Every structure is written in structure tokens, then in C-alpha cells.
A and B are shown apart, each in its own frame.
Chain A
Amino acid sequence: MDDVVIIGIGEYVVVNDSTKISTVGLGSCIGTVIYETTNKISALSHIMLPTMGDKQDRIGKYADTALPAMIHDMEKKGALHGRMKAKIAGGASLFAFTDDHLKIGERNTEAVRKILSEQKIPLVATDVGGDRGRTIIFNPETCELYIKMVKKGPTDPSEKII
């Protein structure tokens, strides 16, 4: 059996072998995969909110603290910043709102995009928005991100690969 490391909300993980990395149930949260194939180092984060602000909290929960820390950990394991690539999934709006001006899923997506662009890491594939939650599994061997969703309508696809 293939090994899979599953992370929860507000966590991130870095692997330097072919262990698959996964997170379950991204709703408005974002799963960010960053990988570097030359040294075969891959990482996944599951953030909840765009910025930590002046709070003292777990860095993994916020895009602006989780991603730089994760990238730094990758570099410590020998990954080359200039060869990193990213894929993201999540940022959905599961509830149909009439009074929702917060659009937290979109705000999270924007925050992650901004940080990746500041870090000059190309975002090569995305699967964001919509009204369905996502469970994702990244395979460092193939660099494919497998996405699973709940079937809500008769024609909904329940999985895809980006």
C-alpha cells in the first residue's frame, strides 16, 4: 500500500520522498501544494483565513504565515526556490447566501495567489470556487493532484485530476 500523510485544518506538511500528501474536506479553506521535482520535495498546506494580523496563533491556519513557513521548510530540506511550482484547490462557497458579503472562499483564494506571486512560484493548476467541498491527494511521483467531490446533481463529476 502507498503511504499517505493526511493533514487537518491549519496544518502543513513537507515530504522528501514519494509519500502522497492529502487533506480532507476543503470548503472555503484552500489546499496549496508546492513541489520541486529536481530534489523531489513536496508540501501541502490547509489554510483557513488570509491573514493572521496581530494575533498569536498557529501559523498553519493563515495564508500569510503558513505558506512562507512551508516554503522555508522545503528549502531547509534542500528544495530550490526557483524550481518550485504550485497547485491550489478549494475556496468554495458551500452555502448559498443572500447576505454574504464576506465571500471567504474568494478572499482565501486571492490571498494564496498573492503570496505565491510574491514568492515568484508559478501557479500551474487551480481548481477553486464552486459550491462543493474537495478532498485532495497529491502524488509526488506524478505531480498530479487528485480531487474528489461529493456528487450533488446527476451530472456532477465526482473526481478530477489537475
Chain B
Amino acid sequence: MEETLLLNEEQRDALQELANIGAGHASTVLSQMVNREIRMGVPRVDVVSLEKTIDYVKDEKVVVGVYMKISQELPSYILLLIPRQSAFALVDLLVGDETYEREILSEMDKSALQEVSNVMICAFFDSLSELLGISLIPGPPVLAYDIPVAVMDYVLIQIGEVADKIVVFNVELKEEKKNNFKINMFLLPLPHSVNKLLTKLGVG
């Protein structure tokens, strides 16, 4: 049951580069959808214990979380966390109504966010599919609006059934000029997926 996860520098770099490319594509489609310049932060690849994953997002009070699951060839979870104010700003851009003072998210707001996330995540995995020569088909996006820890624990529990440590790939996408929103992207591959990725990248 117990799987050890240790990455050497070469493996970490390879994963970081891979995720970097995926995030770049996601960032491009986001930029096209909202017609704004998006800045991508420096991606991080870390091996952390499950409960420490929370540390990435503990400063945010309420977030919109959208996650999609990849089954078949590379079982993984991908999770987008959008802080509350960022989510509102993003919805304003998407729905085109910037005068309305939002306090909660309507069903339409939620589907707009779900759709943006869907397109971003698909762009992420399309580029990975192409690069690795394997087919990665994400399941439907699911959305929750809540405290970050509560949003993440479902995904962590799924992974927790098979591992106590995970490889976290995290990158921040930001729009700073006008609406000032940011999105945190997490790729959480299950442990055996990490090994498969490393083999595919020639650093296994």
C-alpha cells in the first residue's frame, strides 16, 4: 500500500517543465476568453504530506473550487481554486455585467466559472496528451463554493485512500491590470501516475 515518493532534481525539473507547458496553454485560453493579459507565476512542484497541501491556500477565506478527474491512463485530479473576489471579478468579465454588486454566486455565475475552468483544464491536458502521446480525457467539471480546506478535503480524501504523500504542482495565474483576479491551479496525480509520468519523460 505504502508508496514512497521521492523526486530527484532531474525528475522535479522534468515535471515542472511539463506542468509549465500545460499551465501555459491554460493561461492562453483564459486570456482569450476574458480578453485580458494573464501573467503566469512561477510553477512549483513539491512532494508534501496530504494535510500540508492545505498550506497553499490557507490565507484565502472563501474560494470557488472546480475540479476534474482524469481516469484511465493517468489517474489524477486537477483543481482550480479561485478566491471569492477573483471569482466575482471573473464572472463580471464573463457575464459582462460590472455594475451589479455581487454577494453570492447565482447558478448562471457558477456555470460560467465551471465552463471557463473546463476549457482551461482541457487545454492543460490537451497539451500534455500531445507531449506524452497518451490520451487524457477529463471527466465533467464539478464546482463548490466554500472554505478552501473544505473544498480540498474531498480530493485529499480520495488520494488519502491510497497514499499519504502527493506530488503537488501549483501555479498562479493573475490578471492585474483591471479586474485583478487570480486562479490557483493544482495538479494532483495519484502516486502510480507520477511514476508513469516520469517514465514517459525519460527520467523514471
Which residue numbers of A lie inside 8 Å of B, CB to CB?
Answer: 8-11, 24-29, 48-49, 53-58, 61, 92-99, 102, 104, 131-135, 150-154
The answer, among A53, A95, A99, for a CB contact under 8 Å with B144, is A95
**8 A Cβ contacts from B142-189 to A:** 142-154, 156-158, 160-161, 164
Chain A residues near B144: list those with CB within 8 A. 94-95, 131
Complex: chain B residue closest to A102, CB-CB: B158
Instruction: Please state if A24 and B142 are interface contacts (CB–CB under 8 Å).
Output: no
Task: Indicate if the CB atoms of B149 and A56 lie closer than 8 Å.
Answer: no
A58 to B149, CA, bound (A): 19
B131 shortest CB reach to chain A, Å: 28
B51: CB under 8 A from chain A? yes
Secondary structure at the B interface, as helix, strand, loop or mixed, is: mixed
The 10 closest A-B pairs by CB, nearest first: A133-B150, A25-B149, A27-B150, A94-B144, A25-B147, A27-B153, A25-B150, A133-B146, A95-B142, A9-B51
Check if B42 is an interface residue, CB within 8 A of chain A.
no
Instruction: Pick the contact of A49: B139, B143, B161 (CB < 8 A).
Output: B161
- The smallest C-beta distance from A110 to any residue of chain B, in angstroms, reads 15
Chain A residue at minimal CB-CB distance from B63 = A150
Q: Which of B41-79 contact A (CB under 8 A)?
A: 50-51, 54, 62, 65, 67
A150 x B147 contact (CB < 8 A): yes
> Is chain A's interface secondary structure helix, strand, loop, or mixed overall?
loop
The interface size bin for chain B is 20 to 34
Give chain A residues whose Cβ lies under 8 Å from the Cβ of B147: 24-25, 27, 133, 135, 150
B101 within 8 A of A: no
Please give, as numbers and ranges, the residues of chain A lying within 8 Å of B154 by CB-CB distance. 27-28, 93-95, 104
Residues of A with C-beta under 8 A to B51: 8-11, 61
The answer for the CA separation of A153 and B106 in the assembled complex, in Å, is 8
- Assuming the A-B contacts A9-B153, A49-B157, are A94 and B54 also in contact, with contact meaning beta carbons closer than 8 angstroms in the complex? no
**Can you list 13 A-B pairs with a CB-CB distance of less than 8 A?**
A9-B50, A10-B50, A25-B54, A25-B146, A25-B149, A27-B149, A28-B153, A48-B156, A97-B142, A133-B151, A150-B146, A150-B147, A152-B104
Interchain nearest-CB distance for A54 vs B (Å): 6
A51–B34 CA distance with the chains assembled, in angstroms: 45
Question: Across the interface, which residues of A come within 8 angstroms of B160, CB to CB?
Answer: 48-49, 61
Please indicate the chain B residues that have their CB under 8 angstroms from the CB of A48 in the complex. 50, 153, 156-157, 160
B204 interfacial by beta-carbon distance below 8 Å? no
CB atoms of A27 and B151 under 8 A apart: yes
Sample of 11 further A-B pairs with CB below 8 A, known A29-B157, A53-B1, A55-B1: A11-B51, A24-B147, A27-B154, A28-B154, A29-B153, A92-B150, A94-B65, A94-B150, A95-B143, A104-B154, A152-B146
Give the complex CA separation of A155 and B157 in angstroms. Answer: 30
Residue ID in chain B nearest A93 by CB atoms: B154
| Given A55-B1, A151-B104, A25:B161 Cβ within 8 A | no
| Contact A9-B54, Cβ < 8 Å, known A94-B144, A95-B144 | yes
A158 to B131 CA separation, bound complex (whole angstroms): 46
B149: nearest chain-A partner, CB-CB: A25
Task: Kindly list chain A residues whose C-beta atoms are within 8 Å of the C-beta of B157.
Answer: 28-29, 48-49, 104
Bound CA span A21–B2, Å: 32
Contacts of B142 in A (CB 8 A): 95-97
A132 to B144, CA, bound (A): 9
